[in-house]
Amino acid sequence: MLRRLTLGFFGLACAVAVAACSSSTGTTPLSSGGVPGIGPNFATNTVYAVDSTQNAIEIYAPNPTSSSKPIYEIGGSSTLLEGPQYAVFDPHKRLYVSNYDAATGAAQVTVYQTYATGNVLPLSQITGAATQLTEPSGIAYLPATAGFVVANTDPKNTAAPDQLLLFGSSATGAASPAVISGSNTLLDVPTGVAVDANNNIYVADRGNGSVTVYALPSSIASPSPSPSASPSPSPSPSASPSPSPTPAAGLNLAPIQDISGSNTGLAAPTGIAVDSTGNIYVVDPDQGSPSVRVFAPGATGNVAPVRTITGSATGLKYPTDVKVDSAGNIYVADSGAGAILIFGPNANGNVAPTATVAAPGSVVGLALSP
């Protein structure tokens, strides 16, 4: 099995500085609904690309073409981005970013205010030993709890190194998560993570070459109050954050679905998404023929995908994350190609992308604004 292999994609140490809310493209008038001094009211399906080498989030207008350039950026020392990996929005358009810098070992989740752009302080920062964040990667929003789940590996935890960390809606500072881990889970280097409309958690297990699916534990399914929508920036994070309630931990749950076996074609998947009808999209860079594999709703066992995008025409080199918009268009972050590859709703086989959007650095994760 592939063990302790993590994305660990590059990062630079970020100094903490006083926020300066500005766009990387200069001053732009706000559209209706924008937050003064922060940024415009970005439309649905605005594309956010996580750039791990430049410690930034590049923002592209909806439906980008091959000639599109970022219209804004979240980046700079005040953002506290340090090896950003994957990202997700909540329904209020707050952006949650997992961070892991392999060079320094720093691990955290940073949360950004609605419409944030430029060198802004995060709305909140989840970090510290109590969080159990060690090598986080995939992150997904949990509608039932108004919280989020993070795929995490902890090489020093010999008893349960492969984990899903479930945080509540009020998580900040050194918040303690509920933890899904243990031999029953079948987790092995969990990397990508997604959540469907029924709050089932889908995991791209890189070490097992599989997809495992978990029902949200009922013990943590009651939401707590949402965090304040108004950030309170300060020159540096508080050294003594307010404690958060500690949920149940050590949930050694068996998956309710397990897509694995030779028929799946999966080798070491890194990213996963579920569309509104339950189709499961998985990107896999590590089988000599990088691919996007689409599995039917409810798929489990040694099943073949219903569609596979692979071949020289696709432009796939090292895909790491995948997202699907409401029209069924497939967005792939490809760190090997240094680009976002976009495929049409019915793409299958050795097909060219409808757009290849060049990214300034190494794009690892993606998020589409709600």
Q: What pLDDT, on a 0 to 100 scale, did the predictor assign at position 151?
A: 98
Per the domain annotation, does 138 fall within a domain?
Answer: yes
Q: What pLDDT band is residue 218 in, cutting at 50, 70 and 90?
A: confident
Per the domain annotation, does 183 fall within a domain?
Answer: yes
CA atoms within 13 A on the CB side of 265: 20
83 has a pLDDT exceeding 60: yes
**Which range is least confidently modeled, 133-147, 222-236, 283-297?**
222-236
| CATH number of the domain enclosing 87 | 2.120.10.30
Inter-residue contact 321 to 192 (CB < 8 Å) = yes
**Of 193, 105, 103, which is closest to residue 142 (Cα–Cα)?**
193
Q: How far apart are CA 6 and CA 179, in angstroms?
A: 19
pLDDT, tens only, 22-54? 333 333 333 333 444 456 778 999 999 999 999
**Which range is least confidently modeled, 86-95, 231-240, 353-362?**
231-240
Provide the mean pLDDT of the chain: 85
Per the domain annotation, does 229 fall within a domain?
Answer: yes
Per the domain annotation, does 353 fall within a domain?
Answer: yes
Q: How far apart are CA 137 and CA 149, in angstroms?
A: 10
Q: What pLDDT band is residue 294 in, cutting at 50, 70 and 90?
A: very high
Range 76-90 average pLDDT = 97
**Which strand ranges, in their side-by-side order, compose the sheet holding 339-343?**
319-324, 330-334, 339-343, 355-358
Per the domain annotation, does 35 fall within a domain?
Answer: no
CA distances to 126, 265, 275, 279, 368 from 330, rounded to whole Å, are 30, 19, 10, 12, 11
Inter-residue contact 110 to 87 (CB < 8 Å) = no
Q: How far apart are CA 317 and CA 303, in angstroms?
A: 24
Give the three-class secondary structure for 308: strand
Q: Take residue 276 and report the two structure tokens written for it.
A: 């509104």
pLDDT, tens only, 245-257? 333 447 999 999 9
Per the domain annotation, does 276 fall within a domain?
Answer: yes
Q: Take residue 340 and report the two structure tokens written for it.
A: 């976002």
Q: What is the number of domains present in the chain? A: 1
pTM of the model: 0.85
Inter-residue contact 100 to 152 (CB < 8 Å) = no
The torsion angle over the Cα atoms of residues 52, 141, 40 and 62, rounded to 10 degrees, is 70
Per the domain annotation, does 2 fall within a domain?
Answer: no
Q: What pLDDT, on a 0 to 100 scale, did the predictor assign at position 310?
A: 97
| Domain assignment of residue 331, given as a range | 48-368
Q: What pLDDT, on a 0 to 100 scale, did the predictor assign at position 194?
A: 98
Give the three-class secondary structure for 210: strand
Q: What pLDDT, on a 0 to 100 scale, did the predictor assign at position 75?
A: 95
Q: What pLDDT, on a 0 to 100 scale, did the predictor assign at position 12?
A: 29
Q: How far apart are CA 14 and CA 273, in angstroms?
A: 30
217 has a pLDDT exceeding 80: yes
Q: What pLDDT band is residue 221 in, cutting at 50, 70 and 90?
A: low
Q: How many CB atoms lie within 10 A of CB 109?
A: 26
Per the domain annotation, does 324 fall within a domain?
Answer: yes
Inter-residue contact 294 to 279 (CB < 8 Å) = yes
**SS3 of the chain: helix, strand, coil, percent, to 5:** 5, 35, 60
